[in-house]
């Protein structure tokens, strides 16, 4: 059996992978908070965005950041590009499937366990699909016990993550949940890596090496996805929260009721959706005008 190194760059890879996993989980959980306030296609769109955040940054990026630190002395490692991309799409699809099940299905433990099992097995499949993308002059096998443990960790982690999507609202609780999810994803990855055994290829049994190097393919892809994650972070930070949307909606309702009670009042022009921040000055101006006229309108 060949000697392998999971931490060729020390703790840099696992630490950076954990941070990115937590970031992806946090973004995904915040998207699910927005989704719960909506219905129909709008909810599905936010769940899709959550799946992209968790599936790419939270799971796939963590996996391949860790793989950048994986080396076998004297043995070059390349990656099959279509299989690697397929593993990323698989992560997004299974997370989206789980979110749809809990987002539109009947609330309860049976639904949660079904979604968690499907998502967890899918996440484990993403990991081992990513491993299958490796090309090297060696053969691989897996320890059955550690293999099963990694799948179990993935299922439990997915179930807990989906439970979080149904329960969390506050930002700080989402941060705590993201830290837990990042730890679970990292634990599943390194358990799966511990299960892998690498042996020298039999003489004359070398495989074709037509893949891409980690530095030439994985690194630019990881950087690109990470940039998109930070753009999404900024978008979420600038968009109104559920509390702001509810407060604006209540304020507009009170303004309309107060205006209707004034003698000789005409119907006010409809306000733009409260969820658009650019209409906040309009809402605030109308509220101030109503208060000057003696109407009972709360402060925005």
Q: Is the domain of 64 the same as that of 135?
A: yes
pLDDT at 43 over 90: no
Over the stretch 116-159, which tens digit does the pLDDT of each residue have? 999 999 999 999 999 999 888 888 899 999 999 999 999 999 99
Averaged over 80-85, what is the pLDDT?
A: 91
pLDDT score recorded for residue 217: 77
Q: Is the domain of 260 the same as that of 129?
A: no
pLDDT score recorded for residue 274: 47
Q: Is residue 1 part of a domain?
A: no
Q: Is residue 5 part of a domain?
A: no
Q: Is the domain of 22 the same as that of 95?
A: yes
Q: Is residue 150 part of a domain?
A: yes
Q: Is the domain of 229 the same as that of 260?
A: no
Q: Is the domain of 136 the same as that of 281?
A: no
Over the stretch 195-219, which tens digit does the pLDDT of each residue have? 998 887 765 555 566 778 877 777 7
Q: Is the domain of 134 the same as that of 203?
A: yes
Q: Is residue 298 part of a domain?
A: no
Q: Is residue 3 part of a domain?
A: no
The last residue of a domain, from among 192, 216, 238? 238
- What is the SS3 assignment for the chain? CCCCECCCCCCHHHHHHHHHHHHHHHHHHHHHHHHHCCCHHHHHHHHHHHHHHHHHHHHHHHHHHHHHCCEECCECCEECHHHHHHHHHHHHHHHHHHHHHHHHCCCCHHHHHHHHHHHHHHHHHHHHHHHHCEECCEEEEECHHHHHHHHHHHHHHHHHHHHHHHHCCCHHHHHHHHHHHHHHHHHHHHHHHHHEEEEECCCCCCCCCCCEEHHHHHHHHHHHHHHHHHHHHHHHHHCCCHHHHHHHHHHHHHHHHHHHHCCCCCCCCCCCCCCCHHHHHHHHHHHHHHHHCCCCCCCC
The last residue of a domain, from among 216, 238, 260? 238
**Segment among 13-17, 79-83, 96-100, 227-231 with least mean pLDDT:** 227-231
Q: Is residue 299 part of a domain?
A: no
Over the stretch 19-35, which tens digit does the pLDDT of each residue have? 999 999 998 888 888 88
Averaged over 172-198, what is the pLDDT?
A: 90
- Domain hosting 282: range is 242-292
Entry pTM: 0.76
pLDDT at 39 over 80: yes
pLDDT at 300 over 70: no
pLDDT score recorded for residue 95: 93
pLDDT at 270 over 60: no
Q: Is the domain of 57 the same as that of 105?
A: yes
């Amino acid at each position: 059996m060949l000697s392998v190194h999971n931490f060729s760059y020390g703790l840099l890879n696992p630490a950076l992978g954990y941070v990115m996993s937590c970031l992806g989980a946090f973004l995904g959980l915040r998207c699910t908070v927005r989704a719960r306030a909506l219905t129909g296609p709008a909810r599905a769109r936010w769940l899709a965005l959550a799946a992209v955040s968790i599936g790419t940054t939270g799971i796939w990026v963590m996996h391949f950041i860790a793989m950048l630190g994986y080396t076998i002395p004297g043995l070059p490692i390349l990656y099959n590009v279509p299989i690697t991309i397929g593993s990323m799409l698989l992560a997004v699809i299974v997370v989206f499937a789980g979110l749809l099940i809990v987002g539109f299905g009947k609330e309860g433990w049976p639904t949660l366990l079904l979604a968690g099992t499907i998502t967890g097995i899918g996440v484990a499949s993403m990991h081992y699909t990513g491993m299958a993308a490796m090309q090297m002059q060696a053969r691989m096998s897996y320890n059955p016990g550690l293999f099963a443990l990694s799948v179990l960790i993935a299922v439990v982690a997915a179930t807990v993550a989906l439970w979080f999507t149904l329960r969390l609202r506050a930002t700080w609780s989402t941060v705590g949940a993201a830290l837990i999810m990042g730890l679970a994803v990292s634990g599943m990855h390194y358990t799966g890596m511990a299960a892998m055994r690498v042996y020298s290829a039999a003489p004359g049994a070398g495989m074709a090496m037509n893949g891409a190097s980690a530095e030439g393919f994985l690194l630019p892809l990881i950087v690109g996805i990470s940039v998109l994650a930070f753009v999404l972070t900024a978008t979420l930070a600038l968009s109104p929260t559920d509390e702001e949307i509810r407060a604006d909606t209540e304020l507009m309702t009170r303004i309309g009721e107060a205006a209707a009670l004034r003698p000789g009042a005409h119907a006010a022009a409809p306000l733009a959706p409260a969820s658009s921040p650019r209409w906040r000055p309009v809402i605030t101006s109308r509220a101030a005008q109503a208060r000057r006229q003696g109407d009972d309108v709360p402060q925005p």
